Structure 1
Amino acid sequence: MKVQINTDNHVQHDESLTRHVESAVASALDRFGDQVTRVEVHVRDKNGGKTGGNDKHCMMEARLEGLPPMTASEDADSVASAVSGAARKLQRVLDHALGRLTH
């Protein structure tokens, strides 16, 4: 599974962000194996450089073999929390969608 990370210019895209995103995506989605071919992660600061609560936004889009893309998003006080929350939500979205296909 390929993970592609996109950030706005208010979020620092460094090695620690890459590690956290890849770890969160892997722990949430590894059990889906080869069904998920790519995950696009978009992280942004909703109010730019200003401080404020719940202003970090993460949207994840999973590309699956033979299915339309599926998305989940999370707003949080920190980038790490937004990424982790979006990964958990995406896991539930995929559980629900792929579970329906097998029943």
Structure 2
Amino acid sequence: MQVQVRTNQIEGSARLQEWVSAEVTDRLEHFDELLTRVVVHISDENAHKSGSDDKRCLIEARPKGHQPISVTHKAEAMEQAIDGAAEKMRHALEHMTGRLESKTISSTGRYVADGDAVLTDALLEEEFLAKQEELERD
């Protein structure tokens, strides 16, 4: 996973970029194989004036074979904005991968969750065994 850091109204030093990259990589390392690139945009909404929620972090993740996902978090401090956006992205990716992994197709052709698939398999097996018994009786 490649992490790029872009800044606006904030001095984008190499140290800042390394720190942001490490924070985001650490938070999203579980999805390393899924993501091709992550772009982190950090900005100061009010330039250099202080104010509440004036630091903004937008994270755009590009999962392989899917549309990009982006999240935004605003906070009073840059660290809080980055942490909040990274947490939102982790949650969004968990949601996306959970949806992809938990859906299977039942014998009826409709999508079912994993728990429903187990129940459906059990019912199909029961039905199959009942039909087998009928055939043996005939």
Q: TM-score, normalization: structure 1?
A: 0.93
1:89 matched to 2:88: yes
**Aligned match of 2:46:** 47
Structure with more helix by fraction: 2
Q: How high is the sequence identity, in percent, across the aligned residues?
A: 36
Q: How does 1:15-26 map to 2 (within 5 A)?
A: 15-26=14-25
Write out per-residue CA displacement over residues 39-76 of structure 1, whole angstroms, 9 at most, x where no aligned residue. 01111111112111110000000001000001111111
Q: Which has the larger radius of gyration?
A: 2
**Aligned match of 1:14:** 13
Decide whether the 8 Å contact of 1:20 with 1:80 is kept in 2: no
Count of residues paired in the alignment: 102
Unpaired segments ≥5 residues, structure 2 = 103-138
Cα RMSD for the two superposed structures? 1.0
Moved runs in structure 1, 4+ residues, more than 6 A? Answer: none
Unpaired segments ≥5 residues, structure 1 = none
| Greater RCO (CA < 8 Å, at least 6 residues apart) | 1
Q: TM-score, normalization: structure 2?
A: 0.70
